[in-house]
């Protein structure tokens, strides 16, 4: 098997001392309990592919793709090894060598055809303004919510420009379609009205920060945090728990800001047993929703159960994919938990 992507990461794989600290919090390991399901195991598999000791069998490929890229492993790593990058490279090599997964192909085809993960013509609530705002596929699909969030920005003193956006390309990159990602990157850049934008989606903003060094991606929560304390707003007087999205807490080191915003708008927070940088992943990332949907749902159900156990009826989060995954798990399993986006509460507070 050709391994031109993994070759770039050989040094990083050698730096891994295989201490195993990464499987302490790995959500996939905790669920399946074989070392091949944990981060260390997957790095060893990637190294085996690079050395030519292993071939990309269906079983091995499934292991490499069963990762939600939650970055918990990086937090715990003795040597700060960038494990998701190694797995992304392994996925890219596996795909380059002819691996095909129908679910992955269908998802990417939808983006090819429509510019979003739903494969539907989704019209943005266009608006002239000063700063472009990227809604992201999931919020683009939730038209009424999007409108409220745009209104929220206006109430915070921002003049949003809503434009004909397209997918940031994250699904191509995480599923190993490197060339297609490059093409989607071009489309994304072409559509962007300026070289900076406010992003409402946590996945998009983290991804753009990482993969588009020429663009300035501003996270909406940074903007809210700058303004909320100085403008009149309601106190909502409710009690919720907060699920830290991986890309926010671990990816962007943002733990205190959402909590302080919630406090400011009169929302009492009951913490989940794992929170902040050690928050458990809901399973919504890394393409796990399409690679192994039942596993993603199971991880989300764990969060639902933890939320109910801390005695609240509402869980809020920031990531639209976490929100979707957790809500879906609650509904499918008849759990009485309301799942909202933090933006819903902010929008209500400043309305």
Partner 1 sequence: MDIDRLKSIVGEDYVREDIADLYIYGSDASVHHAMPQVVVKPGSIEEIREIARYANSEGIAIVARGAGSGMSGHAVPLKGGIVLDMKRMNHILEIKPEDMYCRVEPGVIDDDLNRALKPFGLTFPPSPASSRIATIGGEIGNNASGIRSVKYGATRDYVLGMKVVLADGELVNLGARTRVEAAGYQIHRLMVGSEGTLGIIVEATLKLIPLPKFRCLGVSTFDKLEDAGNAIADIISSGSEPSMLELMDDIAISAVNTTLNLGLPEVEAIIFFEADGKVKEAVDFEIENMKTICEKHNGTITATSYDAKERTKYFSGRKKLFAALSKYKEGYACTSLADDMAVPYSKMAECARKIHDIAEKNGVIMTAYGHCGSGVMHTKILMNPNDKEKWEGAQRAVEEIYNYVDSVGGVTSGEHGIAISKAPAWKKARPDLMKVMSKIKKALDPNNILNPNKLMDAPDNWYTATQIRYDVKK
- 207 in Cβ contact with 242 (< 8 Å): no
14 binds partner 1 (CB under 8 A): yes
Only segment of 29-37, 220-228, 259-267, 328-336 that touches partner 1 (CB under 8 A) = 29-37
Taking CB under 8 A as the criterion, which residues in 80-109 touch partner 1?
80-81
Quick one: tokens of 213?
């060094």
User: Rounded distance, CA 158 to CA 43, Å?
Assistant: 44
Is residue 264 a contact residue for partner 1 (CB under 8 A)?
no
Would you say 75 or 103 has its CB closer to partner 1? 75
**Shortest Å distance, C-beta 42 to partner 1:** 9
In angstroms, what is the minimal distance from the CB of 61 to partner 1? 9
194 binding partner 1? (CB under 8 A): no
Integer CA distances (angstroms), 294 to 52, 207, 328, 332, in order: 32, 25, 11, 11
Binding part of the chain for partner 1, among 36-44, 67-75, 114-122, 144-152 by CB under 8 A, reads 36-44
Nearer to partner 1, 43 or 254 (CB): 43
Between 48 and 129, name the residue whose CB sits nearer to partner 1. Answer: 48
We find the least distance from the C-beta atom of residue 66 to partner 1, in angstroms, to be 12
Q: Least separation, in Å, of the C-beta of 65 and partner 1? A: 13
- Closest CB to partner 1 among residues 52, 232: 52
What x/- string results for residues 43 through 82 when contact with partner 1 is judged by CB under 8 A?
-xx-xx-xx-xx--x-xx--x------------xxxxxx-
* Nearer to partner 1 (CB atom), residue 27 or residue 171: 27
Q: Are 184 and 116 in contact (CB under 8 A)?
A: no
Q: Which stretch binds partner 1 (CB under 8 A): 37-45, 110-118, 257-265, 272-280?
A: 37-45
Q: What share of the chain is helix, strand, coil (3-state, %, to 5)?
A: 55, 10, 35
Please tell me what DSSP assigns to residue 250.
I
- Comparison of 41 and 84: residue with beta carbon closer to partner 1: 41
Contact between 276 and partner 1 per CB under 8 A: no
Toward partner 1, which CB reaches closer, 81 or 137?
81
**Residue-wise burial string across 86-95, b where 16 or more C-beta atoms lie within 10 A, e elsewhere:** bbbbbbbbbb
Task: Tell me the closest approach of the beta carbon of residue 70 to partner 1, in angstroms.
Answer: 17
DSSP string, 125-169: --B--SEEEE--HHHHH-HHHHHHHHHHHHHTT--EEE------S
283 lines the binding site for partner 1 (CB under 8 A): no
Binding residues for partner 1, rule CB under 8 A, total 35
Q: Which is nearer to partner 1, 29 or 181 (CB)?
A: 29
Helix (H, G, I), strand (E, B) or coil at 98: coil
Q: Give 339's DSSP letter.
A: E
15 vs 308 by CB, closer to partner 1: 15
- For 112, counting Cβ atoms within 10 Å of its Cβ (0-12 exposed, 13-18 middle, 19+ buried), the class is middle
CA 103/CA 319 separation, integer angstroms: 22
DSSP notation for 285-318: STTHHHH-HHHHHHHHHHHHHHHHHTT-SEEEES
Say if residues 79 and 267 touch (Cβ distance below 8 Å): no
We find the least distance from the C-beta atom of residue 102 to partner 1, in angstroms, to be 22
The footprint of partner 1 (CB under 8 A) covers 10-11, 14-15, 17-21, 23-24, 33-36, 40-41, 44-45, 47-48, 50-51, 53-54, 57, 59-60, 63, 76-81
């Amino acid at each position: 098997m050709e391994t031109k992507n993994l070759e770039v990461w050989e040094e990083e794989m050698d730096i891994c001392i295989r201490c195993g600290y990464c499987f302490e919090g790995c959500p996939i390991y905790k669920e399946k309990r074989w070392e091949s399901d944990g981060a260390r195991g997957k790095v060893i598999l990637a190294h085996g592919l690079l050395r030519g000791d292993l071939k990309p069998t269906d079983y091995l490929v499934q292991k490499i793709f069963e990762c939600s890229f939650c970055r918990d492993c990086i937090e715990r790593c003795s040597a700060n090894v960038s494990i998701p990058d190694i797995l992304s490279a392994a996925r890219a090599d596996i795909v380059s060598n002819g691996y095909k997964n129908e679910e992955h192909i269908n998802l990417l085809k939808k983006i090819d055809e429509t510019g979003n993960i739903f494969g539907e013509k989704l019209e943005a609530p266009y608006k002239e303004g000063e700063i472009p705002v990227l809604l992201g596929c999931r919020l683009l699909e939730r038209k009424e919510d999007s409108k409220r969030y745009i209104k929220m920005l206006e109430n915070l003193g921002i003049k949003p420009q809503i434009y004909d956006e397209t997918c940031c390309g994250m699904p191509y990159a995480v599923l190993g379609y490197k060339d297609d990602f490059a093409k989607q990157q071009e489309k994304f850049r072409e559509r962007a009205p300026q070289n900076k934008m406010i992003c409402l989606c946590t996945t998009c903003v983290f991804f753009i920060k990482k993969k588009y060094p020429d663009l300035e991606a501003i996270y909406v929560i940074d903007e809210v945090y700058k303004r909320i304390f100085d403008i009149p707003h309601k106190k909502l007087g409710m009690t919720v728990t907060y699920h830290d999205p991986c890309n926010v807490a671990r990816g962007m080191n943002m733990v205190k800001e959402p909590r302080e915003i919630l406090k400011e708008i009169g929302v009492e927070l009951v913490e989940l047993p794992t929170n902040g940088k050690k928050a458990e992943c809901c399973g919504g990332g890394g393409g796990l929703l399409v690679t192994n949907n039942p596993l993603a749902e199971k991880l989300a159900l764990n969060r639902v159960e933890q939320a109910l156990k801390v005695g609240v009826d509402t869980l809020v989060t920031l990531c639209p994919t976490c929100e979707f995954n957790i809500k879906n798990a609650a509904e499918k399993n008849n759990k009485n938990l309301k799942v909202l986006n933090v933006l819903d509460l902010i929008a209500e507070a400043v309305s």
